[in-house]
């Protein structure tokens, strides 16, 4: 039996190769307008929609596929004898595949000076209707709305023969409906804007037909399904070696990447991440010494963690880090010899990245989606307000700013001890800041670090003096914190009594 595909795409990238493989497998192609012209010019056998409908395109292309001969072919339930009878009676052939991507409405309205008339002409009608029809009838008709889906569909054809698995077709339908829903949302937002209705001033929680969905092996736990919706992921990250990245790998990579982004222009820096939290961070004269200093913070937790650098990874450093079992190593680049060495462990992932500043964060909660601007604030010396009798020294200021960055990337409540731009102890994720401090102090003792003369950072203010006293008793000579507590005066007094220099930033770094 001949299988048929209706192809009508605005973005024609990759469509000729895709259509060619279909025709070589015996498929019949039906197409419209510019798509038809490109396929014909590339010597691919193709029928125009006019031949199927017996009716020409009209209204400057606004109406071309909206015809029973097309939609009955897409929507026919082939398990329903009545539907099959109707097809035969009206000489309509079933359509097995619909390949459509939509007019670039969002791109058009983002152009400076675009008129309402120009925007309206980019509201796709036929394309959305074709997608919805095929998605509705996914048991018999597949729908592709993204060029990144072409190869996956061809793989299914090559392996599955005549019948596409229904669970695969259903997943295509789910994605297709998400695309049409988002497309309508973009149009709604545009019309809301020209009607002076309120609009969010940062990104909606939606994804366009440019976004590839990568299916992951499983989610946070093996019984959970998961996938990655890519925005510019492939522009930032390149996996050079190792197994497929898992859901938890991606979360840890995001934590590592967000932290190392703070050190883009700094001296060589290294961070070691475990379960989303830093367990050691350092800045030094070269990547190798930065790693050793970061590792020395906690020599137990890094096992099975993630190591990230802000500079090209050299061979000498790779020899050192190769001794530790790590899930992932990230760097802006790798020396060839370093790659050859690190690739010897087949399950270790090696990831190359480019620095990029994300602006928006999304988090799904029960009943909705939280959207916020990403916390991109990096404190500088000019942002510090000394509130104690003693001012911090130049070296203490450098360490305070470093520690405050690490505290920002540690789960609240977070406390970080540092000296010479290296972490000595990190405590976080506790309901009480006192508990986080006690954990940090305990770890420092376990790994032989003397906290006397160190600095300490707190991600949020101290509601009472006891938190500051705990840091001072542990050995901190200077403290950085946001300030803003009703008990600030009492906290400052406690610092003065212990000759601790303290600075306020006015910025809180909660990380929940």
pLDDT of residue 480: 97
Among 83, 136, 210, 487, the one annotated catalytic: 136
pLDDT for residue 481 is more than 90: yes
Domain membership flag for residue 511: no
How many structural domains compose the chain? 3
Query: Is-catalytic flag, 316?
Result: no
CATH number at residue 26: 3.40.50.1380
- In a shared domain, residues 155 and 15: yes
Domain membership flag for residue 362: no
Question: What sign does the dihedral 59-62-65-68 (CA atoms) show?
Answer: negative
- In a shared domain, residues 347 and 401: no
- In a shared domain, residues 345 and 387: no
- In a shared domain, residues 320 and 385: no
Domain membership flag for residue 359: no
Domain membership flag for residue 251: yes
- In a shared domain, residues 290 and 405: no
- Number of residues in the chain: 512
pLDDT of residue 158: 83
Domain membership flag for residue 244: yes
Which residue segment(s) compose the domain that 500 sits in? 381-504
Domain membership flag for residue 445: yes
End residue of a domain, out of 162, 194, 226:
194
- In a shared domain, residues 274 and 415: no
Close Cβ partners of 417 (under 8 Å, ≥ 6 residues apart): 403, 423, 424, 425, 426, 440, 444, 449, 451, 454, 455, 456, 471, 474, 475, 476
**Per-residue pLDDT band at 211 (split at 50, 70, 90):** low
Query: Is-catalytic flag, 409?
Result: no
Domain membership flag for residue 296: yes
CA-CA-CA-CA torsion for 197, 198, 200, 204, nearest 10 degrees? Answer: -40
Residue 413: is the preceding peptide bond cis (ω within 30°)?
A: yes
CATH number at residue 282: 3.40.140.20
pLDDT of residue 105: 80
Compute the average pLDDT of residues 311-336.
Answer: 95
| C-alpha to C-alpha distance for 42 and 25, rounded to whole angstroms | 17
Nearest CA-CA partner of 397 in 299, 487, 478: 478
pLDDT of residue 50: 80
pLDDT in tens, 53-107: 778 777 877 777 788 888 888 988 888 888 888 888 888 888 889 999 888 887 8
pLDDT of residue 210: 54
pLDDT of residue 156: 84
293-300 contact pairs (CB < 8 A, 24+): 293/422, 294/270, 294/422, 294/423, 295/324, 296/422, 296/447, 296/449, 297/272, 297/422, 297/423, 297/424, 297/425, 297/426, 297/447, 297/449, 298/426, 298/443, 298/447, 299/447
End residue of a domain, out of 353, 373, 395:
353
| C-alpha to C-alpha distance for 173 and 34, rounded to whole angstroms | 25
Close Cβ partners of 480 (under 8 Å, ≥ 6 residues apart): 379, 384, 400, 401, 403, 404, 455, 456, 457, 458, 502, 503, 505
Question: What sign does the dihedral 202-206-211-213 (CA atoms) show?
Answer: positive
* CB contact burial 145-165 (16+ within 10 A = b; e otherwise): bbbbbbebbeebbeeeeeebe
- In a shared domain, residues 20 and 167: yes
Compute the average pLDDT of residues 286-296.
Answer: 96
- In a shared domain, residues 245 and 164: no
pTM (2 d.p.): 0.62
Mean pLDDT of the chain: 88
Whether the Cβ atoms of residue 98 and residue 205 lie closer than 8 Å to each other = no
- In a shared domain, residues 348 and 411: no
Domain membership flag for residue 219: no
pLDDT of residue 92: 85
pLDDT of residue 162: 65
- In a shared domain, residues 16 and 100: yes
| C-alpha to C-alpha distance for 499 and 478, rounded to whole angstroms | 9
| C-alpha to C-alpha distance for 311 and 459, rounded to whole angstroms | 27
| C-alpha to C-alpha distance for 79 and 480, rounded to whole angstroms | 70
Among 20, 83, 186, 275, the one annotated catalytic: 275
Close Cβ partners of 425 (under 8 Å, ≥ 6 residues apart): 297, 416, 417, 440, 441, 443, 444, 449, 451
- In a shared domain, residues 346 and 404: no
- In a shared domain, residues 62 and 176: yes
End residue of a domain, out of 353, 369, 395:
353
């Amino acid at each position: 039996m001949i299988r048929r595909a209706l192809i009508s795409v605005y973005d024609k990238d990759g469509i000729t190769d895709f259509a060619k493989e279909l025709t070589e497998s015996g498929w019949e192609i039906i197409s419209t307008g510019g798509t038809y012209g490109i396929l014909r010019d590339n010597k691919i056998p193709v029928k125009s929609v006019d031949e199927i409908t017996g009716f020409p395109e009209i209204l400057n292309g606004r109406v071309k596929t909206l015809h029973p001969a097309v939609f009955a072919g897409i929507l026919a339930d082939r398990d329903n004898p009545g539907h099959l009878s109707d097809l035969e009676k009206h000489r309509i052939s079933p359509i097995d595949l619909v390949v459509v991507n939509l007019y670039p409405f969002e791109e058009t309205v983002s152009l400076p000076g675009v008129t309402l008339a120009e925007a309206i002409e980019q509201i796709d009608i036929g394309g959305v209707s074709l997608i919805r029809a095929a998605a509705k009838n996914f048991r018999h008709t597949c729908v592709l709305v993204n060029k990144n889906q072409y190869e996956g569909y061809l793989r299914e054809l090559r392996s599955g023969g005549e019948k596409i698995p229904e669970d695969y077709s259903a997943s295509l339908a789910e994605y297709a409906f998400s695309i049409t829903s988002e497309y309508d949302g973009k149009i709604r937002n545009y019309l809301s804007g020209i009607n002076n209705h309120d609009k969010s001033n940062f990104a909606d929680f939606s994804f366009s037909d440019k976004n590839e969905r990568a299916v992951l092996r499983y989610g946070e736990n093996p019984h959970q399904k998961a996938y990655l919706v890519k925005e510019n992921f492939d522009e930032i990250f390149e996996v050079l070696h190792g197994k497929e990245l898992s859901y938890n790998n991606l979360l840890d990579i995001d934590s590592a990447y967000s932290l190392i982004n703070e050190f883009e222009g700094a001296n060589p820096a290294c961070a070691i991440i475990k379960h989303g939290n830093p367990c050691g961070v350092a800045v030094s004269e070269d990547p190798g010494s930065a790693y050793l200093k970061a590792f020395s913070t906690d020599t137990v937790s890094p096992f099975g963690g993630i190591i990230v650098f802000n500079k090209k990874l050299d061979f000498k450093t790779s020899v050192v880090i190769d001794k530790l079992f790590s899930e992932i190593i990230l760097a802006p680049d790798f020396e060839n010899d370093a790659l050859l060495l690190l690739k010897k462990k087949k399950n270790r992932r090696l990831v190359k990245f480019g620095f990029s500043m994300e602006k928006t964060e999304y988090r799904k909660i029960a009943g909705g989606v939280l959207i916020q601007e990403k916390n991109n604030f990096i404190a500088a010396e000019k942002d510090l307000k000394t509130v104690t009798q003693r001012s911090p020294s130049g070296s203490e200021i450098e360490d305070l700013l470093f520690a405050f960055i690490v505290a920002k990337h540690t789960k609240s409540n977070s406390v970080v001890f540092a000296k010479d731009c290296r972490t000595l102890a990190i405590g976080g994720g506790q309901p009480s800041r006192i508990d986080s401090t006690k954990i940090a102090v305990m770890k420092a003792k376990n790994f032989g670090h003397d906290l006397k003369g160190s600095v300490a950072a707190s991600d949020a203010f101290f509601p009472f003096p006891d938190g500051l006293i705990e840091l001072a008793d542990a050995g901190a000579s200077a403290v950085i914190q946001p300030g803003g507590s009703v008990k600030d005066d009492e906290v400052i007094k406690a610092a003065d009594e212990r000759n601790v220099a303290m600075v306020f930033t006015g910025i809180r770094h909660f990380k929940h």
